[in-house]
Structure 1
Amino acid sequence: GRSYWVIPGGGREAGETEEDCVAREMWEETNLMVQVERLLVEMALPNDPFNKVRKTYLCTIIAGEAAPGHEPEADAASLYAITEVAWFDLRSEEPWEASIFTNYIAYPIIQEIRRVLGYL
């Protein structure tokens, strides 16, 4: 199989706020309960075949231990499985796995997060 990095996320369910969606997706995909603090990044990616505006929120972990979760959306679950949860040191790219640099979705978002937080 093929391995690649993704930032936790997904679509809102009926009646769900964006913040509720973020908290639910984090729980489903990482086993972490979070407090959503604020919107950090809102951007469209030029090479994104899904043509979506991606929103990334700053969150604080309030409970749980990071562990691979599951992808409950049937269409996505048939395409991939979450096998690992890992952190990126936003201060420096040096320890990052090489595959992140060619990831056309995750890498630009992480770079924008770094810029917004003052690490670039």
Structure 2
Amino acid sequence: MATLRHTRYQIAIIEHDQLLMIRFADATSNFWLLPGGGREPEESEIACIEREAWEELGVLVAVEGLIRHQQDQPDATYQAFKTYRCRIIEGRPKPGFETPNQHDPSAGIAEVGWVNLADPETWPSLIVNDLYTFNVLQQLRQALNYA
């Protein structure tokens, strides 16, 4: 069972209506999500976002502000989600580092990709058929006035 962490800090990099996401894959699952994770002890929220962007995407970001603070849909690991809008200031996004899984060494970030926030009909079926990710994107669209 996953260790309970209170808040997941998520990164929303948006360029020309395109949102950057990561695809995670392991032996039993394959899904898209926003990059991000939990804070380390003594780490600020901004430092967490910057570290996660570097670890998961290989980019340096400028954090532009909080888009959404969600506390009504806890999952197995997190009780709340904070999504920050960021801008890439250095580097090109690529699959980055994921904490090694001793039970499945192949688990990790398989790819990075862009999805069009303005046009959900163009989203890959892996997103459309994943109720969790689909809802997260719809809520993000609403918070950013796309819907």
Q: Is the 8 A contact 2:117 2:146 kept in 1?
A: yes
2:42 & 2:105 partners in 1: Cα distance?
26
Q: Which of the residues 44, 48, 71 maps onto 2:98?
A: 71
2:125 & 2:109 partners in 1: Cα distance?
19
Residue 15 to residue 84, structure 1, CA distance change in 2 (3 Å): same
Q: Which of the residues 83, 98, 117 maps onto 1:56?
A: 83
Q: Which has the higher contact order (CA 8 A, sep 6+)?
A: 2
- What residue is the counterpart of 2:7 in the other structure? none
Report the number of matched residues: 120
Note the C-alpha offset of 1:47: 6.8
Q: Is the 8 A contact 1:45 1:51 kept in 2?
A: no
Q: Which runs of 4+ in 1 moved over 4 A?
A: none
2:77 & 2:129 partners in 1: Cα distance?
17
- What fraction of aligned residue pairs are identical, expressed as a percent? 35
Note the C-alpha offset of 1:51: 4.6
- What residue is the counterpart of 1:42 in the other structure? 69
Q: Is the 8 A contact 2:62 2:88 kept in 1?
A: yes
Structure 1, unpaired ranges of 5+: none
- Is it true that 1:80 corresponds to 2:107 in the alignment? yes
Note the C-alpha offset of 1:16: 1.0
TM-score (structure 1 length as normaliser):
0.86
What one-letter code is carried by the residue in structure 1 that aligns with 2:143? V
Deviations 1:17-73 (A, max 9, x none): 101101110110011111011110111354723352011100011011110001136
Q: Which has the higher strand share?
A: 2
Q: Which moved more, 1:46-55 or 1:14-23?
A: 46-55
Alignment root-mean-square deviation, CA: 2.4
TM-score (structure 2 length as normaliser):
0.71
- Is it true that 1:33 corresponds to 2:60 in the alignment? yes
